[in-house]
Structure 1
Amino acid sequence: MDHTLTLRRARISDLDAVDALLGRSYPRLLRPDYPPSVMVMALPLIVRARPDLLASGRYFLAECEDGTVIGGGGWSAASPVGGDEQPSVGHVRHVAVDPAHVRHGVGRAVMGEIIVDTLRHGIRWLDCLSTRTAVPFYESLGFRVLHEMDVNLRPGIVFPAVRMMRQIAPDAPPSPHTA
């Protein structure tokens, strides 16, 4: 597939486009790795864009030449599951690629923007709560699996994830997390 890819920072006005991307991506790509019960309960909660993340300036979009959003992802200083912020750790957030564009470098390009941006902010480690589906993708980018975990989305609704970490700066102190 030949297409020109444009990367840019998301704006709050991109909320509907990100919702649409997540709604196309997650249900189709996650289905092989999650039971129907998880898909029914968790998907309605995770396919929604986070306005605070879009407004932060730390979420990036990949667009085709016609302006269609085909990928996105970002990072935050705060962990999506709470806990103390650590100044050298950034958290990968809501990375998704349109199923029609998987394995065409879109996700890798978005993650490249995330890494460049986190380094500008003094981040030395990236922490990621990956879906089971995306573990091979993150491993190809140098992330290592720490452990599986359940992310509590709401009382009684959990999403099984895989916690992964990657050093992005050669001068980084030892990992703040252990396997």
Structure 2
Amino acid sequence: MDHILTLRRAKPSDLAAVDRLLGRSYPRLLKQDYAPSVQVLALPLISRAKPELLASGRYFLAETEEGQVIGAGGWSAALPGLGAEAAQTAHVRQVAVDPARLRQGVGSAVISEVIVDALRHGIRWLDCLSTRTAIPFYDALGFRVLHEVDVPLAPGIVFPAVRMMRQISP
């Protein structure tokens, strides 16, 4: 990556910037792997920042020197949508990279920060519900495919994803 990148913890006041990033990233990058019907129903639901993540202290932003948010991602102890927790397992949450910054190390830097923070909290495993599009990204970072899963987003709306996992501490 040729540009200076700053990583920091997100704050609730970052909501609009994260919304803009998700709005740039998800519709463009997921188009090739999801049917138009899924895009129409699911994208408006997943392309919005989660205030609870921004306030958790476990969500990170990658910014340019000018302060533009070009990457984001975090983790939670609770399984998204279900609230269930597994000992020593954290769940990667809402990772996104600006399409203009793909393959420049932004996403890897965000996941590295997630790993460091999760390790500080005694986490040994990272679980993620990956989009079909992001499978090669997570695979390159050591995650392994477990199985396909339909993520419930709202009554009658599910998002096809792939559950992946990585051990981060022996």
Decide: shared fold, TM above 0.5. Answer: yes
Residue 3 of structure 1 aligns with which residue? 3
Distance 1:161 1:142 in 2: 18
Match of 2:32, SS state, is: helix
Structure 2 letter corresponding to 1:50: K
Q: When the two structures are superposed, what TM-score results if normalisation uses the length of structure 1?
A: 0.93
- Residues 85-122 of structure 1: per-residue CA shift (max 9 Å, x gap): 11200000000000000000000000000000000000
* Cα RMSD (Å): 0.8
Distance 1:162 1:114 in 2: 19
Residue 85 of structure 2 aligns with which residue? 85
Mean Cα deviation higher: 92-101 or 2-11: 2-11
- Residues 41-96 of structure 1: per-residue CA shift (max 9 Å, x gap): 00000000000000000000000000000000000000003153112000000000
Map 1:82-161 → 2, pairs under 5 A: 82=82, 84-161=84-161
Distance 1:102 1:25 in 2: 10
In structure 2, runs of 5+ residues without a counterpart are none
Distance 1:13 1:31 in 2: 29
In structure 1, runs of 5+ residues without a counterpart are 171-179
Distance 2:139 2:80 in 1: 20
Residue 67 of structure 1 aligns with which residue? 67
Distance 2:24 2:84 in 1: 33
- Residues 4-55 of structure 1: per-residue CA shift (max 9 Å, x gap): 1000000000000000000000000000000000000000000000000000
User: Alignment identity in percent?
Assistant: 75
Distance 2:31 2:147 in 1: 21
Runs of 4+ in 1 over 2 A off after TM superposition: none
Q: When the two structures are superposed, what TM-score results if normalisation uses the length of structure 2?
A: 0.98
Residue 168 of structure 1 aligns with which residue? 168
